[in-house]
């Protein structure tokens, strides 16, 4: 995000607070300061199941001008958050100085729903009890509380479900903007995507269905493939197929039957590798392929013939960059559209599970276990952290 005086004030206040913080990890430090707040943090990059710890820190001081003290209600664990902890993600969080430790400390999390507790001078658009979400990347949301600049947050309606609001700023906007920014889709047009059961993929299905756009969705084969296909179709998917089906040369004929020979104008890729190369061949003339992830960790190779004979255009998309380039009014407008879909039941929250962290001796074991399962792709649900003070 662009640097603002309010965001700098929030960072200075947080830094000043954390210099007096109390540390509670595998090694202990003592302090006379009341340490009611907690955060999930790390000192060095590495395997999240090994480097994350639970820290305790002091109560927040009154907020400086143009900032607000907030209490986090729910904070998701997204795949990118894991990559940040591993040190392989391009966006880097600012270090927090807990107890003046030798090594810098970083708080995880990029997304979350918070409640305003107190506002500083000059803040007129927010009041105590308001719900807000973060629009500044890598704020550090896996915490019970923190101070934030008002330019780095957006107010959201408190009549949403907590899980809906907590997952509002990353996956649904990614889906929404990819569907709107690259191709002018009309009712009845087709979109093809891989990773269709991901949080973004599910949002793509629902937003497309709400606009009358049809989707061809690819997922990996699994034991419960029938129930997964049923779940995605219940969300609004037009057709669902597996990567094994996609690899079959005869599958193109099936696609033509499904689409009635209509050209597919937009492809969305979060996988990369050979499956995306094959999927790209399904795209029609003057189509656009948008990549927003690389779950296979394999390079994306697109045949030159698609560029020459089909005039294919390839793009990359990163939601954090979108936020940094758009005005506050544009960000608010997008959020209003997404909230409207949620209120009308056209955009559901992905299946999720809440993991509560709150002073238990087993907190770090719980975090380690959930990180292992997420890294292995064995969770199957979105994990939302509730970090209690």
Length in residues, the chain: 389
Question: Of residues 89, 106, 243, 292, which has the active-site annotation?
Answer: 89
Query: How many Å apart are CA 285 and CA 272, to the nearest integer?
Result: 21
Contact 122/103 with Cβ under 8 angstroms? no
89 is catalytic: yes
The long-range contacts involving 1-4, CB below 8 angstroms and separated by at least 24 positions, are 1/135, 1/136, 1/137, 1/151, 1/152, 1/323, 1/324, 2/324, 4/149, 4/151, 4/152
The long-range contacts involving 335-342, CB below 8 angstroms and separated by at least 24 positions, are 335/133, 335/154, 335/156, 335/168, 335/173, 337/176, 338/168, 338/172, 338/173, 338/176, 339/156, 339/157, 339/160, 339/168, 341/206, 341/207, 341/210, 342/160, 342/164
The DSSP call for residue 150 is G
Point out the residues that are catalytic: 89
């Amino acid at each position: 995000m662009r640097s603002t005086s309010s965001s700098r004030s929030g960072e200075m206040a947080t830094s000043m607070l954390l210099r007096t913080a109390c540390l509670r990890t595998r090694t202990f430090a003592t302090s006379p300061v009341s340490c009611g707040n907690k955060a999930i943090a790390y000192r060095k990059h590495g395997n999240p199941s090994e480097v994350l710890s639970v820290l305790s820190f002091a109560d927040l001081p009154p907020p400086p001008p143009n900032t607000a003290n907030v209490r986090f209600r729910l904070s998701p664990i997204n795949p990118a958050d894991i990559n940040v902890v591993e040190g392989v993600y391009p966006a880097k969080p600012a270090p927090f100085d807990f107890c003046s430790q030798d090594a810098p400390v970083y708080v995880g999390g990029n997304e979350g729903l918070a409640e305003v507790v107190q506002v500083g001078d000059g803040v007129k658009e927010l009041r105590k009890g308001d719900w807000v979400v973060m629009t500044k990347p890598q704020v550090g949301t896996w915490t019970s509380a923190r101070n934030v600049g008002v330019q780095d947050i957006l107010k959201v309606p408190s009549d949403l479900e907590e899980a809906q609001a907590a997952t509002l700023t990353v996956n649904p906007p990614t889906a929404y903007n990819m569907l709107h920014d690259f191709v002018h889709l009309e009712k009845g047009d087709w979109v093809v995507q891989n990773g269709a059961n991901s949080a973004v993929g599910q949002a793509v299905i629902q937003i497309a269905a709400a606009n009358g756009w049809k989707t061809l969705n690819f997922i990996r084969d699994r034991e419960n493939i029938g129930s997964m296909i049923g779940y995605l179709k219940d969300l609004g998917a037009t057709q669902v197929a597996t990567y094994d089906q996609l690899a079959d040369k005869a599958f193109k004929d099936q696609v033509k039957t499904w689409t009635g020979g209509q050209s597919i104008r937009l492809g969305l890729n979060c996988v990369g590798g050979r499956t995306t190369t094959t999927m790209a061949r399904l795209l029609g003339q003057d189509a656009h392929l948008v990549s927003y992830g690389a779950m296979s960790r394999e390079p994306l190779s697109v045949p030159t013939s698609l560029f020459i004979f089909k005039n294919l255009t390839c793009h990359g998309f990163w939601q954090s960059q979108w936020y940094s380039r758009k005005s506050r009014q544009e960000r608010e407008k997008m959020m209003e559209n997404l909230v409207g879909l949620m209120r009308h039941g056209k955009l559901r929250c992905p299946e999720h599970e809440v993991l509560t962290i709150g002073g238990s001796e087993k907190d770090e074991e719980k975090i380690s276990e959930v990180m292992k399962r997420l890294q292995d792709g064995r969770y199957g649900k979105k994990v939302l952290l509730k970090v209690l003070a």
